Amino acid sequence: MKIAVVGVTGMVGRIMLKVLEERNFPVSELIPVASEKSIGKEIEYKGKKYKVVSMTDAIAAKPQIALFSAGGDTSLQWAEKFAEVGCYVVDNSSAWRMNPDKKLIVPEINASELTSKDYVIANPNCSTIQMVVALAQLHKTYKINRIVVSTYQSITGTGKAAVEQFENERAGIEGKMVYPYLIDKNCLPQCDVFTENAYTKEEMKLVNETKKIFSDNSIRVTATAVRVPVVGGHSESVNVEFERDFEIEEVKTILKNTEGVVLQDDIANKIYPMPRYSENKNEVFVGRVRRDYSNDKTLNMWIVADNLRKGAATNAVQIAEYITKFM
C-alpha cells in the first residue's frame, strides 16, 4: 500500500522509516514528505532512493496511510486534507491529542477503540506512552488512584537542534541555543513552555493524556518534567497509589506478562533500566519496583524507553498496523 511519511527528514521521521522496514510493513510505494526547503532531496528506504515531495503532491498520490511527524501547526493545516482523500493519518504532534473527536491510541492499551471511520488518529506524547504501557495492566488489577511522576527526558525529545547544541557545548563551540541555559552537565526543570498554572505543557500532557488513554478522569496525576543531557531515552520515576493493595511479587509477575514491557529488576546484580541501553529498542523497560512505605497501597517504579522509538515512531507504526485491518 502507499504510505506517506510527513516530516521524513526529521529525527522521528527517519526512525519511522527504520521501524517500517524492521517490522516488514507492507509498503508498495513510499511517499516521503517534508517542508518546502527539503523538496527534491533524496532519502533511502530499503536500499532504494526516493525524492521528497510536497504536501499537495503527496495528497494527489492518495496514500492509504500517512504518518505525520512535522509539528502541530503542520498537522492542523494538512491532516484532514489527507483524510479527505481517504487517507488514514497517524499524527505524532500534540495537535489532535485532546480533541474529543479524535482517538488517542497506545495499541497495547486501547487500539480496539479504533473504527474504520477514524481517519485522524493521535499518537500520545512520548513520556505518556512509556508510563501508561507500564501501568495499564496494574491499573486493570488494582485501580490507580493517583500518580506522581518525575521525568528525566533526553534532548532528542526537542529535536536535531537540541542535539547540535549539546554536541557544540561538549566540543567548546559557540552555536545556536535551543534551551535557555547550557544543557551539558546540567538539568533543566523545564520541558516545553510554562502554562498559566505554573506547570509546563509537557507536564500537563502527562496529566491529561493519561486520563484520556485510560478513559478514567478520576485518576489524579501530577508531574515534574526535567530535561537531562542524555542523547537517547527518557526515564521516569513513578509513584503510583492504588485503590486495592498488592504484593510486590504479583506486581512483578503482571509486569513480566505485560505486552511491550521488559522487567529489569534484579538489585542484587545491579540490574535496572537505563536510557543508554534502551536506545534503538522498541520496548518499555521497568525496574526498581518497590513498595512505598510512607503511604498505603502505593508503589515506586522506574520506567525507561527510547523516546524516538516507542515514544513516537514505533507507536505510530503499530497504530498503522492496526489500521490495515480496516483495508
The catalytic site residues sit at 126, 234
Rounded-to-integer distance, Cα 111 and Cα 126, Å: 17
- Taking a C-beta distance cutoff of 8 angstroms, is the pair 107, 129 a contact? no
Query: Which position has the grid cell 547550557?
Result: 182
> What's phi and psi for 46, nearest 5 deg?
55, 40
Provide the strand spans (E) within 7-102.
Answer: 29-33, 42-45, 48-51, 65-68, 88-91
Give the CA-trace dihedral at 242, 126, 191, 138, to 10 degrees: 10
Rounded-to-integer distance, Cα 32 and Cα 157, Å: 22
- Among residues 84, 69, 146, the alpha carbon closest in space to that of 119 is found at 84
